Structure 1
Amino acid sequence: MNKRIKPILLVWVALGISLNFIGGNLALVLRLPVYLDTIGTILVGSLLGPIGGLVTGSLSGLLTGITTDLFSLYYLPVQMVIGLLSGLLLKSGHPLSKQNIWWITLLVSLPGTICATLITFCLFHGITSSGSSIFVQLLTGFGFNQGWAIFSVQLLTDYIDRFIAIMLVFFLQKTSIK
Structure 2
Amino acid sequence: INVALLMGPMLVGLGLATFTAHMFIFYFAVASAITPPVALAAFAAASITKADPMKTGFSAVRSGIVMFTIPFVFALYPELLLIDKAVIDPNNGLFLAGYDGSLNFGWLALLMLRIAVALYLVSSALAGFDRKALKPIEIFTRLAIAVLILAHPTEIYGLALAGGFALVAWHTLRSRDELTATQERQV
Structure 1 length-normalised TM? 0.34
- Report which of the two structures shows the higher radius of gyration computed on alpha carbons: 2
TM-score for the superposition, normalised by structure 2: 0.33
Which structure carries more relative contact order (alpha carbon 8 Å, separation 6+)? 1
